[in-house]
Amino acid sequence: MELLKDNVSSHRYFILGGLDELGGLRPVLSVPFLVLLVVSLAANSLLLYVVVSRRSLHSPMCLLIACMAGVDLSLPLIFIPNVLLGVWLDLKGISLIGCLVQMYLLHFLGSCQSTLLLCMALDRYFAICTPLCYHERMSLPGFLRFVIPLLLRNVVVVLAVVVLAGSLSFCSRREINHCFCEHMALVELACGSTDVNSLVGLVSVFLVPVLDFLLITASYVLIFRSVLRSGKSASKALHTCVTHIIVMLVSLTFVLTAFLSYRVRDGLPAAGRVVVSIVYLSVPSCFNPIIYGLRTTEIRQNILKMLPSRSLVQTVN
């Protein structure tokens, strides 16, 4: 009777044990987690405040950067506090519903990151290749025409992945070999066939980050061709394009590594999967404010105006 009760409870309750094998190093590992959380919250909150509070920064590109800051602000809050509670207080339990909600939010916000990069690429394409139509296409109605289908794609694709994961039957194993509810980490605990889940997961990766990366690359190829044909200096376009492509390529590499590690026999060890997943979810949240905020001239100038030292110098003068 006791065994039957344990098996039934395992369908609704799981243990996040991805960091258990680190043993005594777990408290030490909490330091970089805490640093990532604090830096992400501070940098993205500052960037979001500056763009929203300054009317001069309400251009399409700056608003896209603000949306990226909002996503980057939310992502670490979904999983890093849970990781810290697990390390400090040994609170590693999570219900099936809680696990599925966390999984949906993580994957949806992750998909929104690549979608926002695609929107930034389209903004640059319209500005450089079709400057006369830029304001029409990047006005709110024109902007929503190509953003809404992308967001609906993200909602439907991620929802399909999560619903299929939630419909699985879980046997006696209930320890998720991860520090948060990653899709394949939960699916591998199922006692039935998971071929459909694996296929849908693979399709979702190619429909969102891979497709977005291909569209971003294609848009920048068209931008380079337009700039070279017009005889204008390509330095500014090259600067923006290369930055976006590098960020997307690095993120895509980590996403594919984490995803394929579950499908390659004798692939990454569990600790390696955890590290890769944490990198692609949390590190961009710290570096995106620098890449897209401080390197954008208008935003950087407004941030400098807000610094106390600059205000003091102006008062003295």
DSSP string of 33-101, one letter each residue:
HHHHHHHHHHHHHHHHHHHHH-GGG-SHHHHHHHHHHHHHHHHHHHHHHHHHHHHHS---EEEHHHHHH
Q: Are strands 175-176 and 13-16 parallel, antiparallel or unpaired?
A: parallel
CB contact at 8 A, 171 and 10: yes
User: Residue 1 has what pLDDT?
Assistant: 40
Region 183-192: mean pLDDT is 86
Split at pLDDT 50, 70, 90, the class of 264 is low
pLDDT in tens, 80-126: 888 888 888 888 889 999 999 999 999 999 899 889 989 988 888 88
Question: Of 6-15, 24-33, 248-257, which range is least confident?
Answer: 6-15
Instruction: Please give the sequence-ordered ranges of beta strands (E in DSSP) within the chain, or none if there are none.
Output: 13-16, 93-95, 175-176
Domain 2-309 has CATH 3.40.390.10: no
pTM of the model: 0.85
